[in-house]
A and B are shown apart, each in its own frame.
Chain A
Amino acid sequence: MNLARWIRAAALPILGGLLLAGGLMLTSPGTASAASNASQLAVPSEPDGNKACLECHSKNETMNRDGKEISIHVNGAEYAESVHGIISCVRCHAEAGPEHAADPNKPLNLPTGRELAVLKSQGCVKCHAGPYEESYNLSFHGVAVANGDNRAATCVDCHGVHNILPSRNTASAVSPENLAGTCGTAECHQGAPENFAKGKEHVIASEKSAPASLHLVYKFFMILILFDTMKDGPIVMFELLRRLQAGRGH
């Protein structure tokens, strides 16, 4: 009882102290820029650098790489609206360092086409590690790409590049409304029916978190394989023992 009363009495000073400490931290020199602009409080990583990138990359210009005309255009507004909008360009484009700023026309030695999609998707899993990466590596797309067949879908093929939106957003390429259309682009599963959207992506069937139907099918086969092993193994082993035991032939 004494303890409870003590806590009640102490609660107000403690809360007040925390608030004061928080206020001091926000106004301390280390976070001066964040504190000076209230709208940026929620976006501590907003880089001023993105503006510099967009100075050139907002233009509708092309460059020649691998004998192909490639657009350098990035829709800045669209990117800012995307789920990654608060992240600086260089988080994904580490290749575009000070050297690129100094000499924008110097090639960055990036591949083009499918190879670029594969390379850039390897960057996604630096943040999106865990079940997304693991399930992709288990998927047929992932197995094909890992073994050099670049025709299979990578992260960016389904999710987009600068326009990535969460799947709950109806404008997202991977929202239930748009998924079949995303799968069904000309380069991939052309003519993919609506059924393509009726199921979950990024599933690890061996884990209980997978849809029950997939997990049960997986479980059934694990038990079947075990049963087969225990049925077939001893038949052969005992047959060999029997042979070894039998008398010599003539």
Chain B
Amino acid sequence: MKKHKQTFVQRWNLQHRLQHGALALSMIGLIVSGLAIKYHQAGWAQGWFKMVGFHNNLILHKCSASLLVFVSVWHVAYLLVSWMKERSHPLSWAMMPNLDDVKHAGQHMAYLLNLRKEPPNYGRYTYLEKFEYLSIIWGMVVMGMTGFSLWLPETMGNFFTREILDMFRIIHGNEAVVACIALLYGHFFSVHFNPAVFPSSPVWYNGKIPLEHFMEEHPAEYQRMVEAGQLDATAMAGAQPHGLSPARKVLAFVELIIYSAIFYWLLISYLPKALA
């Protein structure tokens, strides 16, 4: 009865993981080098510049940006190949937003406000994950276009006036903050700091998601895989969505304090700027 001990579900293939790894690497490089420029007066940025130098930091930023462009081309190529090889490599449309996502968003709000017992019946990707994926596309278009103009102002100056290039710089530096908030509150919470998966969901390195977490977070997808015979229903007979162990409850409490503190700090920082 060994197969009844199955506790992981394959969620990502090697391509997904390699693309995600390259994306993560480029994002880390971009955020570190970019925020160092934006907040150059901060102590950590000063230390960083002393260590690597301002010019090298700029080179790191441009290399990371190039890697990000490469990943996006790679991802589009992957999607195209999947689309053409319909049989061996079916293209997944699971990331496509649909009306269910709107419904899930409403249900999620009700769940968060304690007006509903269970979270929404999410499929392979939750509405927040889909939103994140679309945000990356949108963010890359905005950051890529403005960033490229700042990289080669002499060339882009042929198409844009100085005032537009200045506008691009304001957009670039602030859209970066938008992206960081999305990463910290969206991505990092859902796959790292969520007390149920802390310190990290293993999907990004081995492609597997713990069964209990899968059942809890993607119940509709679980149901679909069981019905399609891809999962052995009897194997999960005893598995229940998990609550939190006492240690993880303490973690959740500490996180609540930290996330609240960052929330109020952002509020206090940006409220006067927005209202001024």
State whether B252 touches A237 (Cβ < 8 A).
Answer: no
- Please choose the segment from B7-15, B19-27, B172-180 that sits at the chain A interface, where 4 or more of its residues have CB less than 8 A away: B172-180
State whether B244 touches A243 (Cβ < 8 A).
Answer: yes
- Please choose the segment from B61-69, B90-98, B260-268 that sits at the chain A interface, where 4 or more of its residues have CB less than 8 A away: B260-268
A114 and B237 CA atoms in complex are apart in Å by 73
State whether B154 touches A140 (Cβ < 8 A).
Answer: no
Per the 8 Å Cβ criterion, residues 145-202 of B in contact with A are 150, 153-154, 157-167, 169-171, 174-175, 177-178, 181-182, 185-186, 189, 194-196
CB-CB < 8 A to A213: which residues of B?
163, 167
Q: Is A6 among interface residues, defined by CB-CB distance under 8 A? A: no
A222 and B186 CA atoms in complex are apart in Å by 19
State whether A221 touches B162 (Cβ < 8 A).
Answer: no
Interface residues contributed by chain B, number (CB under 8 Å): 64
Given A195-B157, A200-B163, A238-B112; A248-B175 close (CB under 8 Å) = no
State whether B162 touches A238 (Cβ < 8 A).
Answer: no
Per the 8 Å Cβ criterion, residues 217-250 of A in contact with B are 217-219, 221-226, 228-230, 232-250
State whether B274 touches A247 (Cβ < 8 A).
Answer: no
Interface residues contributed by chain A, number (CB under 8 Å): 57
Give the residue among B37, B159, B170, B189 with the most A Cβ atoms within 10 A. Answer: B170
Name which residue of chain A comes closest to B188, CB basis.
A236
Name which residue of chain A comes closest to B249, CB basis.
A244
State whether B157 touches A225 (Cβ < 8 A).
Answer: no
State whether A233 touches B162 (Cβ < 8 A).
Answer: no
Q: Chain A nearest CB: distance from B195 CB in Å? A: 6
Partner among A144, A193, A206, A229 whose Cβ is within 8 Å of the Cβ of B181:
A229
A189 and B162 CA atoms in complex are apart in Å by 13
Overall SS of chain A's interface: helix
Chain B residues close to A by CB (< 8 Å): 37, 40, 46, 49, 53-55, 58, 111-114, 128, 150, 153-154, 157-167, 169-171, 174-175, 177-178, 181-182, 185-186, 189, 194-196, 240, 242-246, 249, 252-253, 255-256, 259-260, 262-263, 266-267, 270-271, 273-274, 276
22 contacts between A and B (CB under 8 A): A146-B40, A189-B157, A193-B154, A195-B162, A199-B164, A205-B166, A211-B163, A219-B274, A225-B274, A226-B267, A226-B274, A229-B270, A233-B262, A233-B266, A233-B267, A236-B189, A240-B195, A242-B112, A243-B195, A244-B244, A247-B243, A250-B243
Chain A residues close to B by CB (< 8 Å): 140, 143-144, 146-149, 151, 184, 189-193, 195-200, 203, 205-206, 211, 213-214, 217-219, 221-226, 228-230, 232-250
